[in-house]
A = this chain, B = another copy of it.
Amino acid sequence: MSTLAQKEIRMAATSLGSSSAQGLPSNEGDDVERECSRKPDQKPLKHYGVGDPSTMVSSSSPHLSSRGSINKWFWDSFEGIQRTCQMDEYDEDKNPNGIINLSISENKLCLDLLTRRLSQSDMLWVEPSLLQYTDWRGHAFLREEVARFLSFYCKSPAPLKPDNVLVLNGSISVFSALATVLCEVGEAFLIPAPFYGSITRHVHRYGSVRLVSVHLDSEVTGMETRPFQLTVEKLEMAFQGAKSEGVKVKGLILINPHNPLGDVYSVEELQGYLDFAKRHELHVIMDEVYMLSVFEKSIEYHSVLSLERLPDPQRTHVMWAPSKDFGMSGVRFSTLYTENQDVATAVASLCCCHSLSGLVQYQMAQLFRDRDWIDQVFLPENHARLKAAHTYVSEELRALGIPFLSRGAGFFIWANLGKYLPEATFDQELLLWRRFLDNRVLLSCGKAFECKEPGWFRLIFSDRIHRLRLGMQRIRQVLEGESQVAADAPSCQTQEPRGPGSHYED
């Protein structure tokens, strides 16, 4: 029996006011290699949706501005469930019936390595300059180290310049700052969907900027080679569609490796997307925070910074952070690389709201320059552990006959549980999500990621094996029960409050 109070589950609809996604029948199949069957081309009903969180807030406080009320609503709707889960988290000894949380995109597989490295005595270095005000963009020694680090790991054709580097306290801050300096209130960024849902809030909190979803399909049509493939044609359709609704689109957000799909874009794909953006004078925000989490050796990753020639370097802005790749989301550290000095300066001005301790800046520089540890110890071990965990969850899903995207990057598996829904609706998706939670395992459902097909879920696999085992066991229990319920076509709980997001993403 769940200890979660109903009121704590009153989660807001995660579509955030987007044009309602079409309840297209989900594509099911036992052949996981095929993942999703190819179907003849068919015209989707609507290929984009414009999100507007401000339309979701019904009540306001006499003490808050409209912006304050939206932010309060963000917290009430998306933080509540995670905080409740945190307080009731599974612990082998202390809370064996606690919740297994497979919804937060964190890498918990290498905390031992990290803890050991960060505990070494070179990490405690205090000198007066670190305790005083400095350049808001970050200490010079750190920006030099970041430039060297990115030049090497992004394989840039020429050394990256420290002057183009800004350091902020996490990628949420980078989104917040870029949204504010690139867009007026109410303007928008294009983003392929599904995408990790919290970006919607990151660009809206301070920026009041909206997202236009470029809806991708699980069905493979035309020239496509994989499910949920992003094409220039889809970008174009969404851009024109938003334009026809009077929405001013100022940029395109690309996530590579992609969260939650795990996709890694080829050079040709990247080039196509960037050319599209250039044609429409759109800024491109490249989110590359999983750059070093490509654990499948056969996959070749291409940072946008590795390209010989960027189509529009003045409108290309690249984010990287150690949060995911080094499993240290609690350290609050992110970098922005941009050649555009106007953008760099405007973000620099906001950096005083996003600055981080000089002591942390020193620690990060130490970490980045320890290439032996990174290359010989951390990365190989991290990739091996990610691969093992991915293999375990993949095999469990195969055993259940669940189709999923089998990629070799990131911490997540994007799985189609559509066959467990009695009807292909988001209400049913939410019911299933709720049944998982009642059985003490928390996942993220597709609706939270603006997926337009009900039934998709994201599972985080970057956790220790005993927790994964228990999590998968609880999922299996629900699905076996659920299969039976589905056969009975239940009418229960249709008033259940709606869809969860994974707020901790950044």
Contacts and interface: CB of A to CB of B under 8 A. Distances in A.
Give the one of A71, A333, A352 with max B CB within 10 A: A352
B72 A349 contact: yes
A254 to B, nearest CB: 18
Interface in A101-159: 104, 106, 108, 111, 114-115, 118-119, 121, 123-124, 126-136
Contacts of A74: 349
Nearest to A358: B330
B184 A67 contact: yes
A130 B185 CA distance: 35
A72 B346 contact: yes
Contact of A182 (B64, B108, B183): B64
A86 B115 CA distance: 35
Copies of this polypeptide in the complex:
2
A353 B133 contact: no
Contacts of A104: 133
A348 B136 contact: no
B126 A63 contact: no
B330 A504 contact: no
Interface residues of A, number: 85
A353 B354 contact: yes
Given A79-B136, A119-B124, A184 B348 contact: no
Interface stretch (A166-174, A369-377, A400-408, A489-497): A166-174
Contacts of A440: none
A183 B63 CA distance: 9
A492 to B, nearest CB: 32
Nearest to A326: B131
A501 to B, nearest CB: 13
A302 interface: no
Nearest to A120: B124
A380 interface: no
A141 to B, nearest CB: 13
Interface in A353-381: 353-360, 363
A59 to B, nearest CB: 10
A231 interface: no
Contact of A333 (B123, B173, B357): B357
A65 interface: yes
A418 to B, nearest CB: 30
Interface in A2-21: none
A346 B353 CA distance: 16
Interface of A: 61, 63-69, 71-72, 74-76, 79, 83, 86, 104, 106, 108, 111, 114-115, 118-119, 121, 123-124, 126-136, 169-170, 172-173, 176, 180-185, 187, 202, 205-206, 250, 283, 314-315, 327-333, 340, 342-343, 345-350, 352-360, 363, 504, 506
Given A68-B342, A206-B206, A206-B350, 7 more contacts: A65-B181, A66-B184, A115-B126, A129-B330, A131-B330, A134-B330, A331-B358
Nearest 3 pairs of A and B residues by beta carbon: A68-B181, A71-B349, A61-B342
